[in-house]
Amino acid sequence: MKRMLSGIKPSGQLTLGNYIGALKNFVKYQDDYEMVVFIANLHCITVYQDPQELKKNLKDAVALYLAVGLDPEKSIIFLQSEVLQHAQLGFIMACNTYLGELNRMTQFKDKQAKNETNLSAGIYTYPTLMTADILMYDPDFVPVGEDQKQHVELCRDTAQRFNNKYGETFKIPEPLIPTVGARIMSLSNPTKKMSKSDHGDKGCIYLLDDLNVARKKVMSAVTDDLGKVNFDTVNQPGISNLLQIHSSLSHTPIKELVETFKDSGYGEFKKAVAQVVVDELTIIQERYKQIITSNIIEETLDNGAKKASYLASKKLNKVQRKIGIEIRKR
C-alpha cells in the first residue's frame, strides 16, 4: 500500500476551507493509502500564539480530525511535538539546506515584504522542519494546498541532494494538489483565500461556528450584479466560490448545479448553499461534541505517537549513521 502524509497547522480554528481543501480528502484517501496525519504544533509556534488559545485549537483540531471521519485504526494520527525525532531531523535537514533556498521561499518572503517586525528564526527554518516531517516517513504522496507546494519541492530537492551525498536514504515524495476545492475563497472577498487568520471575519466559516452564524455568513456572501448563476471565476468569483462549496459538499458536479440554478435568483441559490453547509456542519459538530467529552483524543494521540515514534526512530538512526554522528550500535 502506498503511503500518504500530511500535516495541518492549527494556529487558529479549522475552517470550511481546511475541510474541503484538506481534511475531507484525507478521509477519502485512508481506504486506499496508509495515511500519516499529524498536527504540526511546532510549526504553529513559529509565530507567537497565546498558550491557552493554542491548547484549545490543538485539542479541537484532533477532535475535528476524528469528527470528520479520520479513523485511528486506519490512519496514524499524532501530535508533531510528541515525536521528538522531528525536531532532531529538522536540525539535520537545516544543515543540508542552503540559505539561498530558504531566501527564495515565498511564504517567508511575503512576511518579510509586509515588514512584519520580530520575525523569528523559526519562521525562516520552517521549511526544513517540514522537510523532516515528510522524509521521516518515506511517503509516496504529500497532499497539500497550492501555497505549500514550494515547500514540498524544497523537500524533494533536499532529499535528492542527501541521497546523492550519503547514499539512498529517503524516498522522493510527490506533492498532491487537489483540483476541485483547492482554493475556497473568502465569502466577503472572493478574490482572497478563506483563511483562519481572518479573525472575526464574515468571510470565513469555522467548522465549529454556530449554525445560524454559518448560515448568515453564506447569505451575506459577496456576489456580483450579473444576476445569473454561472461558473466563471474571473467575472463571477463569488458565485463560482459558492458553486465550488456546494459541489464539494454535495458531490454534485458544478455543471449540474449551474443547470439546476440557472433560473434562480441569488437569494434562492445562496439558501441552497447555506443549507448544504449547515447540514455538513451539523453532522461534524454532533460528532465533535461526543468526542471532546470522551477519552478518544487521549487514546488516539497515545497510539499515534507510539506508531509514529517507532518509524521515526528507525529513520533517524539510519540518517545519523549515514552522516557519521552516530558512533554507537543501537
Q: Which residues bind to ligand TRP, rule: CB under 6 A?
A: 5-9, 40, 43, 130, 133-134, 142, 144, 148
Closest CA to 169 of 6, 327, 315: 315
Residue-wise over 230-269: b if at least 16 C-beta within 10 A, else e?
A: eeebeebbbbbbbbbbbbbbbeeeeeebbeebeeeebeeb
Nearer to ligand TRP by Cβ, of 77 and 130: the residue is: 130
The least CB distance from residue 40 to ligand AMP, in Å, is 8
* Binder of residue 193, out of ligand AMP, ligand TRP, none (CB less than 5 to 8 A by kind): ligand AMP
Nearer to ligand AMP by Cβ, of 90 and 181: the residue is: 181
Whether 193 is catalytic:
yes
* Binder of residue 43, out of ligand AMP, ligand TRP, none (CB less than 5 to 8 A by kind): ligand TRP
| Selected catalytic residue, list 193, 217, 270, 315 | 193
Instruction: Please identify, among the stretches 19-27, 120-128, 212-220, 311-319, the one whose residues bind ligand AMP according to the rule CB under 6 A.
Output: 19-27
Range list of β-strands (E), 177-308: none
Q: How far apart are CA 266 and CA 255, in angstroms?
A: 17
| Selected catalytic residue, list 2, 55, 56, 111 | 111
Whether 111 is catalytic:
yes
For residue 4, CA distances in Å to 30, 62, 86 come to: 9, 18, 17
* Binder of residue 133, out of ligand TRP, ligand AMP, none (CB less than 5 to 8 A by kind): ligand TRP
Which cell goes with 316? 533517524
User: Would you call 49 helix, strand, or coil by DSSP?
Assistant: coil
Closest CA to 272 of 235, 324, 225, 229: 229
Whether 318 is catalytic:
no
| Selected catalytic residue, list 9, 24, 196, 270 | 196
Q: How far apart are CA 237 and CA 116, in angstroms?
A: 30
Residue 208 touching ligand AMP (CB under 6 A):
no
Where in the sequence numbering do the catalytic residues fall?
A: 111, 193, 196
**Interacting residues toward ligand AMP by CB under 6 A:** 8-9, 17-18, 20-22, 144-145, 181-184, 193-196
